[in-house]
Amino acid sequence: MTVKKKSPTSKPVAAAKPASAKSSTTKTTTKPTQEAKTTQSKEKQKTVPKLSETACKSKKLTTVKAPKVKNPETILYKKKGVILKDLLKDYSNLQKGAPCLNKFQKKAIRRYHREETLKPYQAELIRMQKCLEKKNRKMVILFEGRDAAGKGGTIRRVVRYMNEKHYRIVAMAKPNDEVKSQWYFQKYITQLPRGGEVVLFDRSWYNRAVVEPVFGFCTSEEYKNFMRGVVGFEKDLVRQGTILIKLYFSVIKEEQARRFKRRKTDPLRQWKLSEIDVQAQDRWDDFTNQKYEMLKKTHTNIAPWTIIRSNNKHEARLNAMKIILNAVPYERGNTDLDYVPDSKVVISGAREKEIMDAQRIKLGSFVG
């Protein structure tokens, strides 16, 4: 009798399942329905944790910034340098409908507007002049200051519309031997105004206080005699009814140099440049010292000095007119005008002396 051995590799055969059951199970496990998919996606969205705001801020994204390129100040156009800032400004003006103007046209427009702002005050100067004529009063205005400080331009604006019969501009020439032998004030006394007249001195007897000592045109004795006698001379003028206004135009050294340079190249201004003007920059400190001594000894309550900062010519002219108008009690025509001088442009002689004293104490010398 033979017995069959079981092979080790043989496995028990599982019982066969019906086909219908097998297919149903596979369908449910491998191929979920559309509804199941949507529910699963919703559950996933719910389970995904949201990052807090602090966590988002802590996570800094690495972004690469483009290097900043600075625009050039000038660009080359038709082999000429053009300022880019001005070009962009002109372009924006064109977009707004403004006309395209060159620098000369722009300068002419600025000058026109400045002259227009002076006209209401020039009209008041005419009314003031009529008041002086009516009351038979006399007025003397002294215009002093450094070379190229704006004295001549201010004088021309003051008298532009005034009656020529009742004002005079006096600019004394270089004295000859006969004049030198006279009393120093004699040549100026002959130029003083009559009743109802205004006399404007483009440099006055204060030449002896500033210019002549610096260039050696007078002796130290002549200078001392002048400084002792000028205060009494001015007191007599005021006591006898003369309205005396003393204006000193102050300009910084850099601005004076710029104006001298312009005079050298401008054919309409070359006549203003003299040998004394050329030396003004080299003798700047000497002029400053003489200015200080003049303010110290000749600024009085009866005949005070008024300092006008004239780096801006238009502001200096405007404020000079205000000072002149305020010196005469007359009936003003335009009460809406601002007659108060700008405190940044106009200061008293006493205040200027205090400023110069402070400069000398702090720095050891005067600034200007």
Mean pLDDT of the chain: 84
The C-alpha atoms of residue 270 and residue 54 are separated, in whole angstroms, by 74
Tokens 């003004």 correspond to what residue? 280
Q: Give this prediction's pTM.
A: 0.73
> Which residues, in sequence order, are CB contacts of 164 under 8 Å at separation 6+?
none
The C-alpha atoms of residue 352 and residue 308 are separated, in whole angstroms, by 10
Which tens digits make up the pLDDT trace of 304-320? 999 999 999 999 999 99
Kindly give the interhelix angle for 349-363 and 284-298, rounded to the nearest 10 degrees. 130
Q: Which residue has the higher pLDDT, 269 or 275?
A: 269
> Which residues, in sequence order, are CB contacts of 215 under 8 Å at separation 6+?
276, 279, 283
User: Do the beta carbons of residue 316 and residue 249 sit within 8 Å?
Assistant: yes
Is it the case that residue 241 has pLDDT exceeding 50?
Answer: yes
Which tens digits make up the pLDDT trace of 191-233? 999 999 999 999 999 999 999 999 999 999 999 999 999 999 9
The C-alpha atoms of residue 30 and residue 34 are separated, in whole angstroms, by 13
Is it the case that residue 235 has pLDDT exceeding 70?
Answer: yes
Phi, psi of 144 (to 5 degrees): -120, 165
SS3 (DSSP) at 214: helix
The C-alpha atoms of residue 23 and residue 251 are separated, in whole angstroms, by 108
Say how many C-beta atoms besides its own lie within 10 A of residue 155's C-beta: 19
Distances (CA, A) of 247 to 215, 309, 325, 367: 22, 11, 13, 20
At the top level of CATH, the class of 118-363 is alpha beta
Which tens digits make up the pLDDT trace of 146-187? 999 999 999 999 999 999 999 999 999 888 889 989 999 999
Nearest to 147 by CA among 268, 246, 276, 318: 276
- Position 225 scores a pLDDT of 96
Query: Where are the domains positioned within the chain?
Result: 118-363
